[in-house]
């Protein structure tokens, strides 16, 4: 990372059930903000808090099991979609959870994919399908906060709306869940956000 | 003992080089300069080494041998890092530690434990064996390091994706570590597979040329190959683990920015 300071004095709070959109011009550091919230990039100053506890006092796997960040472009996967979805259940932090393909099939169905989709070769997914799989993979782990970095950018309008509905269901079913997202689709932002956080660069 | 070679005979062999220079000139390959430089370099380096070794052999003390070993290790680490594209601060020290640790431990074990050379630092054995082990370990270390850093650069999102889903740094990078160590081992395994069939190893042929019986030479070669394989494995693993520690921090973050562009 360059030593250029992207933003400062950002003070945001996300409450239960909220769908916060982070908005701002390209290069202002929206991704960086989300990555910092997930603890994937260090902040030069400041602190991220989760339920009254600073990030620095959380073991990171535990923190990220709750605050999950989805990359804009999912990494290439191998094996079947099902195997790819099951992979994170092998991490120690998710030891208490178990992967059930029925759950995965149900989520995929909400996104308009048949259950045969689970047996597909994960390496041959299109960009949009890979985004769907990444979304399902995160939802199966039932995080508390989802950080979506243009996570539906490659979906067609119809599927994107299905994804929004699915996310809303996820928000409604958990005790205290929240969503923070970055989207270049202005319509999606207007339609889906309960609040918009404008990010402006230093000196902008 | 082998037949001694006079300086005149060496010059005669050098004339053979002239043949390739001539070919290069006729076919306009533009290699003439490179061939001459490489040939001259090789000659000067080896003559120097011959002088130094002759001097060291006469001393019968472990210190000059260790000194030579250390210089060889530094050169090996430099060569290993030189072949690695993705570098991070401290990579040279890591390469040095990996090569030094594995080569010295295994050469020491081979000399004192297996071959039971007394004293263990007997230059006639220590220097050539350490040299062979270093040369092969260096290849393993550089391949493993290169693979690991480039995988973390290209496959960065796969590792980071796992981190983002709650993986520890070890869970996230485990398969990358595995691939890198395996890559470091490949040349040794390949050369072992064809040894004696396609290639006659240099040390064995050397011993035979020097008058040893093929049976003894073969056994030496087998011992040396196992030592080399073990050292390559240990060195590759060490280098990758050190790179892992440098590039994934204790907060389970991938520090891609440490990989210089």
Tokens of B19: 């043949």
Spatial separation of the C-alpha atoms in residues A184 and A182, rounded to whole Å: 7
Burial A87-121 (b: 16+ CB within 10 A, else e): bbbebebbeeeebeeeebbebbeebebeeebbebe
**What is the domain count for chain A?**
1
Instruction: Report whether A167 contacts A179 (CB < 8 A).
Output: yes
Q: Which of B118, B102, B107 has its CA nearest to residue B184? A: B102
> Coil, helix or strand for B1?
coil
Residue A6: inside a domain: no
Omega before A67 within 30 of 0, i.e. cis: no
Q: Quick: pLDDT tens for A52-62.
A: 999 999 999 99
Residues of chain B with pLDDT under 70: 1, 261
- Report the gap between the CA of A199 and the closest CA in chain B (Å): 23
- Report the gap between the CA of A93 and the closest CA in chain B (Å): 7
User: Given an 8 Å threshold on Cβ–Cβ distance, is A91 in contact with B162?
Assistant: yes
- Given pLDDT bands bounded at 50, 70 and 90, which one contains residue A45? confident
Kindly report the CATH number assigned to the domain that includes residue A88: 3.40.50.300
Question: Which one of B152, B161, B252 makes the best mutation probe of the A interface by having the most chain A beta carbons within 10 Å?
Answer: B161
How do the domains of chain B map onto residue ranges? 1-59, 61-258
B161 at A interface, C-beta within 8 A? yes
- What percentage of residues in chain B have a pLDDT greater than 90? 59
Q: Quick: pLDDT tens for A6-28.
A: 777 788 889 999 999 999 888 88
Q: What residue of A is the nearest CA neighbor of B255?
A: A41
Q: Quick: pLDDT tens for A112-171.
A: 999 899 999 999 999 999 999 999 999 999 999 999 999 999 999 999 999 999 999 999
Q: What residue of B is the nearest CA neighbor of A94?
A: B166
Residue A54: inside a domain: no
The whole domain housing A142 covers: 19-39+59-198
Residue A203: inside a domain: no
User: Given an 8 Å threshold on Cβ–Cβ distance, is A93 in contact with B254?
Assistant: no
Instruction: Report whether A89 contacts A97 (CB < 8 A).
Output: yes
Instruction: Report whether A204 contacts A26 (CB < 8 A).
Output: no
Provide the ipTM. Answer: 0.93
Instruction: Report whether A146 contacts A70 (CB < 8 A).
Output: yes
Question: Which one of A71, A96, A141, A145 makes the best mutation probe of the B interface by having the most chain B beta carbons within 10 Å?
Answer: A71
User: Given an 8 Å threshold on Cβ–Cβ distance, is A74 in contact with B157?
Assistant: yes
* Residues from chain B contacting residue A141 (CB–CB below 8 Å): 165-166
Q: Quick: pLDDT tens for B55-110.
A: 888 888 888 888 989 999 999 999 999 988 889 999 999 999 999 999 999 999 99
Q: Decide if pLDDT at A203 tops 80.
A: no
Q: What residue of A is the nearest CA neighbor of B155?
A: A75
Tokens of A57: 């006092």
- Report the gap between the CA of B250 and the closest CA in chain A (Å): 9
Residue A120: inside a domain: yes
Q: Decide if pLDDT at A1 tops 50.
A: no
């Amino acid at each position: 990372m360059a030593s250029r300071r992207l933003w400062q004095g950002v003070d945001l709070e996300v409450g239960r059930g909220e769908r916060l959109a982070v908005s701002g011009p390209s290069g202002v550091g929206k991704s960086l903000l989300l990555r910092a919230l997930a603890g994937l990039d260090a902040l030069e100053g400041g602190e991220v808090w989760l339920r009254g506890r600073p990030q620095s006092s959380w073991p990171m796997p535990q923190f990220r099991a709750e605050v999950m960040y989805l990359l804009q472009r999912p990494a290439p996967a191998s094996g079947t979609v099902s195997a790819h979805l099951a992979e994170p259940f092998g991490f120690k932090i998710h030891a208490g959870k178990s992967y059930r393909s029925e759950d995965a099939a149900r989520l995929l169905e909400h996104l308009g994919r048949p259950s045969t989709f689970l047996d597909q070769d994960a390496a041959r997914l299109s960009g949009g399908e890979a985004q769907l799989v990444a979304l399902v993979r995160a939802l199966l782990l039932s995080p508390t906060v989802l950080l979506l970095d243009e996570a539906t950018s490659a979906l067609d309008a119809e599927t994107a709306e299905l994804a929004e509905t699915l996310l809303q269901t996820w928000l409604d079913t958990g005790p205290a869940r929240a969503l923070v997202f970055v989207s270049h689709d202005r319509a999606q932002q207007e339609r889906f956000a309960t609040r918009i956080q404008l990010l402006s660069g230093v000196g902008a | 003992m082998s037949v001694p070679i006079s300086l005149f005979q060496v010059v005669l062999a050098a004339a053979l080089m002239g043949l390739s220079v001539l070919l290069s000139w006729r076919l306009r390959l533009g290699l003439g300069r490179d061939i001459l430089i490489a040939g001259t370099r090789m000659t000067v380096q080896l003559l120097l080494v011959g002088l130094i070794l002759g001097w060291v052999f006469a001393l019968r003390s472990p210190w000059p041998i260790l000194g030579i070993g250390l210089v060889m290790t530094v050169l090996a680490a430099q060569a290993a890092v030189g072949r690695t594209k993705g570098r991070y601060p401290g990579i040279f020290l890591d390469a040095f530690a990996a090569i030094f640790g594995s080569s010295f431990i295994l050469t020491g074990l081979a000399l004192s434990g297996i071959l039971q050379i007394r004293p263990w630092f007997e230059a006639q054995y220590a220097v050539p064996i350490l040299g062979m082990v270093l040369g092969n370990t260096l290849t393993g270390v550089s391949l493993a390091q290169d693979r690991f850093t480039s995988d973390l650069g290209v496959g960065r999102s796969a590792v980071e994706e796992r981190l983002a889903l709650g993986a520890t740094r070890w869970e996230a990078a485990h398969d990358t570590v595995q691939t890198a160590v395996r890559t470091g081992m490949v040349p040794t395994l390949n050369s072992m597979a064809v040894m004696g069939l396609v290639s006659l190893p240099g040390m064995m042929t050397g011993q035979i040329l020097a008058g040893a019986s093929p049976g003894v030479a073969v056994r030496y070669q087998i011992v040396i190959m196992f030592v080399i394989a073990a050292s390559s494995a240990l060195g590759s693993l060490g280098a990758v683990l050190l790179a892992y520690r440098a590039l994934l921090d204790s907060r389970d973050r991938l520090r891609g920015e440490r990989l210089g562009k």
